[in-house]
Structures are given as structure tokens and as C-alpha cells.
Homo-oligomer: A and B are copies of this chain.
Amino acid sequence: MNALADLARLAGVSKATASRALSGRGYVSERTRDLVVDAAAQIGYIVSPNAASLVTGQTKNVGVVIPFLSGWFFSEVLEGTEAALLDREYDMTIYNLTTAAEGRRRIFEFFLARKRFDAVMIIGVEPSEREVASLRRLGRPLVCVGGPVPGVHSIAMDDTAAARLATEHLIALGHTRIVHIGGSGAEGHPGSVHGKRFEGYRQAMNASGLPYQFAPTRMSMPGGFDAAFGVISDPSVRPSAIFAACDEIALGVIVAARQLGIRVPADLSVIGIDGHEYAEMFGLTTVEQSPRDQGRLAVELLMRQLDAGQAAPDVGQAAPDSVSGLTHHVVPEPELTRIPVSLVERSSTGPSAGAPPR
């Protein structure tokens, strides 16, 4: 009747044995397994993931919630995630949060609620409390990249520290007029990535007794480009350095500067954050975090939770650290994994390094 039955008949065994031979769980003699595997190859048998999921409850799929599909940071995290997932034979299904509140609600309350995955990863999402609750209610391992999100196992760089690092670097270089070009609303939104980067900048400026100045824009190349004109076109008030909230903004600023005949870094120092591969190629000084590795690491953490048979950590039920794997339902305290950051200084002139191709 069904494919497995055909396969079993061809191999001369029962469906149960055929299933065991292919899935690898349960005892099957080596000889029998070979028989089944050969037969499967012969007729091109492939298990129905649906039927298998129905009985095992495992989907071999992870859901990824992300606010943008474009954007350097996001696409690199996604690439790292996808590669790591494929290595483990997992599918990746993407839920792209729209800016529309209604669409966003639908993702959390309809799409995610269907639970077509064994685990969930949220990237660069700032979920509301209600959203965190609904994520938790899924009862699936959950990891957040680009957080931290309270109560959720997160992996992220310390945005404030990174911004401080970048700003201090410029100060150490002797700059005193340093403007920050960052994400709109950074001042009033201390929990967001751009809010924290603004805060780190402010802290460093304050610590040195320097006045700070913020220019808001979109977190993108054109954003940096547009904003730069307002900041650097007037020579009489031009800063000597700019701290951009991300590499994309930084590059936009550099393009604008060059267009205005301002030499970088001779007349204007620019520093970004993210460590995107493009930053390296354009000789942009930046604070590095590796998006691709963060995706890989996130998958690693998800898989660990999956292997341990754990669901998402449930606040208030956390077990003491000392408890090993033997207790029932040992749920780890939501952990925060910090991505190490390092400042990478580059010449910011000429192509990457050495002679350009051809």
C-alpha cells in the first residue's frame, strides 16, 4: 500500500524492520540493514517526513524569526545558521517580521503557533513581553541572536561596550569632535541595538568630558550617506571623526565624504561596528563580531537543548547549577553568551590590500 510496505516487501522484511534499518534506531542486524538500504536505493525510497513527524513529534526543522532579509548583519547570520542546520539535516523556515503590527502578530500567533519546528531562533528581534510569553508557550528550545532578550537564552555582543571601545579608539587618536550617526530613536530606545550603541558612545564621550552629538538615520548605507551630508558638508563645523552605529552606515558616510572631496581618514576618521566582510574589503575600521559564527553558535545551542530534551528555559523554574542531567526537567537559567568583540583598525584607503585584480 504505502511506500514503506513496498520497500519492506522488496527487502523481504517487515515494515518495522525496514523502518529501524533506515532510521538507525533499534536493533537490526548488519546484513538486514544492508538489504533494506539497497532496496531503498533501488526504488528511491524516501521516508515521508510528515508521517514520521506525526508519530515522533520531531520535525527536523527550525523556525527563524527575523525582521529583515536584507542587511549585512541579518543575511550573514542567516547564512551561518542555514549552513549549520543543513549539516545536521535540518530544514530552516523563515518568518520575516513585517513592519506592520498586524503582520507581526500573525507571525507570532498563527505561524509560530503551528509549531512546524523543533526549535525557534529569533534574530535581531526585540519581542514584547507578550511575544516572549507566546514564544515560551511553544515549549520549544529558543535562542535569540542579537539580544539579549530577558528570560531568553541569548547570544550577542555587548553593544554598549563595543560602542565605547570604538569611541575610545577615536578619542585615543586625539579626536575631540566626534559625531555619532546611528539608528533613529536611539536616544529614546535604550533597549535596542542602536540605543545601546548610542549609549556606549555617550558614556565614552562623557568620560572624557567631550560633548556628544547624535545624527539619526536608517541603519543602512543610504542612511549613512544621507545623514553624512547634514554632518560633514559644512567645513566650519565639521567633526574630525564619525562613529557609525554599523558598518553599512559607515560605508555610506565614506561614500558621501568622498563625494564632498573629504579625504578619509586624512580629513575625517570613520569607524563602524559589525565586522562585515565588506568592511574589510573597503578598508573600514570596525568593531568586529562575526555574524556568520553567531548563526552557527545559535544552532549549536539549539541542538544542545534538543539533545538534552529540554524545552525553552522557563523563568522561575530554573534548577540549581549543581544539578546534573539526572533530575527531571532540568531547565537551565536563561543564559547570555557574549560574542567577543575586537577593534580592527584598517587603513581606510585603497583597495583591500595589495594590488587590485587585473
Nearest residue (CB) in B for A66 is B82
Known: A222-B352, A258-B258, A278-B221. A92 touches B89 (CB 8 A): no
Contact partners of A357 in chain B: CB under 8 A = 216-217, 226-227, 230
| Of the residues B92, B114, B222, B351, contact of A46 by C-beta under 8 Å | B114
| A102, B110: Cα distance in complex, Å | 36
Chain A positions 212 through 224: 1 when the CB is less than 8 Å from some CB of chain B, otherwise 0: 0001110011100
Q: Contact check, B91 vs A225: say whether CB atoms are below 8 A apart.
A: no
Known: A113-B46, A114-B49. A356 touches B230 (CB 8 A): yes
Known: A59-B50, A93-B91, A113-B46. A225 touches B82 (CB 8 A): no
| Of the residues B50, B70, B228, contact of A54 by C-beta under 8 Å | B50
CB distance from A21 to the nearest CB of B (A): 17
Contact partners of A95 in chain B: CB under 8 A = 86, 91
| A114, B50: Cα distance in complex, Å | 9
| A111, B282: Cα distance in complex, Å | 37
Which of A71-79, A186-194, A198-206 forms contacts with chain B? A71-79
Nearest residue (CB) in B for A75 is B70
Is A208 located at the chain interface by the 8 A CB criterion?
no
| A192, B79: Cα distance in complex, Å | 23
Known: A258-B258, A351-B256. A222 touches B278 (CB 8 A): yes
Contact partners of A254 in chain B: CB under 8 A = 255
Q: Contact check, B49 vs A356: say whether CB atoms are below 8 A apart.
A: no
Is A317 located at the chain interface by the 8 A CB criterion?
no
| A147, B304: Cα distance in complex, Å | 40
Is A116 located at the chain interface by the 8 A CB criterion?
yes
Q: Contact check, B225 vs A282: say whether CB atoms are below 8 A apart.
A: yes
CB distance from A212 to the nearest CB of B (A): 15
Known: A229-B356, A282-B222, A356-B227. A111 touches B94 (CB 8 A): no
Contact partners of A258 in chain B: CB under 8 A = 255, 258-259
Is A281 located at the chain interface by the 8 A CB criterion?
yes
Chain A positions 162 through 195: 1 when the CB is less than 8 Å from some CB of chain B, otherwise 0: 0000000000000000000000000000000000
Contact partners of A46 in chain B: CB under 8 A = 113-115
Is A22 located at the chain interface by the 8 A CB criterion?
no
Q: Contact check, B70 vs A96: say whether CB atoms are below 8 A apart.
A: no
| A345, B82: Cα distance in complex, Å | 38
Q: Which of A85-101 contact B (CB under 8 A)?
A: 86, 89, 91-96, 98
Chain A contact residues, CB within 8 Å of chain B: 46-51, 53-54, 59, 61, 69-72, 75-76, 78-79, 82-83, 86, 89, 91-96, 98, 103, 106-107, 110-111, 113-116, 215-217, 220-222, 225-230, 254-256, 258-259, 277-278, 281-282, 349-352, 355-358
- List the 6 shortest-distance A-B pairs measured between CB atoms, nearest first: A222-B281, A258-B258, A229-B356, A70-B75, A93-B93, A230-B358
15 further A-B contacts with Cβ under 8 Å, apart from A86-B96, A86-B106, A255-B282, are A69-B82, A86-B103, A86-B111, A91-B93, A92-B93, A92-B94, A216-B357, A216-B358, A220-B278, A222-B281, A225-B282, A226-B352, A226-B357, A255-B258, A259-B350
